[in-house]
A and B are shown apart, each in its own frame.
Chain A
């Protein structure tokens, strides 16, 4: 039981480390690529901006959820 808990914690720590690297890269990619475009959209086309904002946050949720699920599965298999 304790071994299982220790293994889960190790997998989770590894997942967090990989996730942190991916997210840092993602920050620069998304903020640099989309920052200006979103700013222009927000000032000039509010309705389109509102739609894009919801699509972006929902899309990111599904994408990051998939990334963390795959990461966790891969790492658990590797440590088994």
Chain B
């Protein structure tokens, strides 16, 4: 099928399948899935700028479906999501500015590639250590469901990193925000810092940076994993819409490709969200470990071969 906006010929069923896979990952882990969508579009000969912009448009649609489903399960903290969206947009702009500065210096590819590898591998190693230790401490028993508890308490999960998170929450720098849905009270500045860092990597490394934001929400803010997944998806709707708008103005979005991909993502996202009900927080975090490693492997491949996927 011919897509006139990006001047590319792509089998629509290929796009549906790619959307379906990304939808499952997004619904289950709360990530945008750009580390798969970008290379998948590039493989079909779509120009790099269109791959980035179109992927963002598709992420908006997929996140709406997944966030709506997570909301029905009580997994979205709207207040936290709104605050984080502001920080993410600011951070994304800063990341994009740094990219421009590195472009002028002439070493953008090397710097971005090495930063990406270090960040992705660090996240994976840390999450592997933490989730494994937490699961060992729990001896395989899930403590998620507490009868008669509030929504936040019933989703509360245990983390081996919990004592550090508690200390971060105890830093009561004014203004302190009460987040009853997540069951935490925390300084606004801590939330903004997490959002700005996530946004910065989104602007610097591309994509939605859910692989950084979701773990940060769990380990730094102390948000239960299920709520972090749902809230991250809600936050992605706002930040990816902003990204789609700016990329569309620059002529980087083929909305027809995004619409076709999204038809597969709708079903995939629902499966992903449905599956989260059957996994405790530490198990979701353990299953998350390979995702940043896939991102790192793609970057290593581009460094070694010189091909930009």
Contacts and interface: CB of A to CB of B under 8 A. Distances in A.
Interface of A: 16, 19, 23, 26-27, 30-31, 34-36, 38-39, 42, 46-47, 49-54, 56-58, 60-62, 64-65, 68
A38 B256 contact: yes
Contacts of B65: 61, 64-65
Contacts of A23: 16, 263
Interface stretch (B132-140, B145-153, B242-250): B242-250
Contact of A62 (B64, B244, B249, B259): B64
Interface of B: 1, 4-5, 12, 16, 57-58, 60-62, 64-65, 68-69, 241, 244-245, 248-249, 251, 253, 255-256, 258-260, 262-263, 266-267, 270
B263 to A, nearest CB: 5
Given A35-B256, A39-B4, A46-B251, A57 B267 contact: no
B244 A35 contact: no
Given A42-B5, A54-B60, A64 B263 contact: yes
A57 B258 contact: yes
A56 B270 contact: no
A24 B16 CA distance: 10
A19 B267 contact: yes
Contacts of B16: 23
27 contacts: A23-B16, A23-B263, A27-B12, A27-B260, A46-B249, A47-B249, A50-B245, A50-B248, A50-B253, A53-B57, A53-B253, A53-B255, A54-B244, A54-B245, A57-B58, A57-B244, A57-B259, A57-B262, A58-B64, A58-B241, A60-B263, A61-B60, A61-B262, A64-B65, A65-B64, A65-B266, A68-B270
B49 to A, nearest CB: 13
Contacts of A26: 263
Contact of A58 (B1, B5, B61): B61
Nearest to A49: B248
Given A42-B5, A54-B248, A57-B262, 13 more contacts: A19-B267, A23-B16, A23-B263, A39-B5, A54-B241, A56-B255, A56-B259, A61-B60, A61-B62, A64-B262, A64-B263, A65-B65, A65-B68
Contacts of B253: 50, 53
